[in-house]
Amino acid sequence: MWGMGGGLNEYRSALFASRGFASLSLAYFNHKEIRPGPPNCVSVGDGYFRSAFQLLQDHPQVCGDRIGVIGLSFGGYIALRIATQIVVRPKCAICVNGPMGNVTNTYISDHSTESHDNHPPTPYWQIDGQGYLTIRKSSLPSNILPENRIKFENLACPLLCIVGEDDQNASSAENATEMEESLRAAGRAHLFTCLSYPGAGHLIEPPYTPNSRISTWANKPKKILTVWGGHPASHAAAQEDSWKKILTFMECNLRG
């Protein structure tokens, strides 16, 4: 699952499939085939993600008890939510630069929607004099309401957390630290593995994916650029290394 860009992104799923992992890319907002709702809102609830999980479980060519979840950015939060709050049992979970709670101050549920429009919804979204949007502060653990945090005491599978230390879009390092502390307090620290990469930005993608430190967030009603972070060489190295370790993690937990 991808992040707040929405839509259906299949490239990572295709790469997993090329290595023998049955893989499902899941759109959950800002996609024409999602049930009616504002184009920039999450209009699906927990039942949607549960159905997607069960679709894979029921597939005749899939081992139903060996399914993992992976998400980037806001998709990382959803992956964590699936692993801890939805009535399914993933074999492992991977969170790439994702927050440990819902930063929009509302839950995803079967009866609510979440706005992800192009206008700053919280005071932590800021546009500087150059027109650059920064939203990093919105995902600081201290700015996530306690009731919106992931219930890590419910985690029952290994979790791989990937962090870009130059992430300018999310407070990934702080979230990873808080995740580890929460799991330790719950007696589940043994389930947690963190890969932290100096100089890497927010969009840690498969190897050789170009990184843009700053790119367009919106064109209308006015052009807004957002800062992702990442230095070219360090970010490229992080993408190569994390991809190898993601595959190893999946191999151990889904095939081992």
What number of other Cβ atoms are within 10 A of residue 12's Cβ?
A: 20
Listing DSSP states for the chain in one string gives ---TT-S---HHHHHHHHTT--------BS-TTSPSS-TTEE---HHHHHHHHHHHHH-TTS-TT--EEEEETHHHHHHHHHHHTSS---SEEEEES--SB-TTSS---TT--EE--SS--STT-EE-TT-EEE-GGGGSGGGS-GGGB--GGG--S-EEEEEETT-SSS-HHHHHHHHHHHHHHTT-GGGEEEEEETT--S---STT----SEEEEE-SSS-EEEE----HHHHHHHHHHHHHHHHHHHIIIII-
110 is catalytic: no
65 is catalytic: no
**Tokens 């589940």 found at:** 188
Choice among 13, 23, 73, 242 that is catalytic? 73
59 is catalytic: no
Choice among 13, 167, 172, 242 that is catalytic? 167
Rounded Cα distance between 192 and 65, Å, is 20
Choice among 13, 171, 182, 202 that is catalytic? 202
What number of other Cβ atoms are within 10 A of residue 182's Cβ?
A: 20
Residues tagged active-site: 73, 167, 202
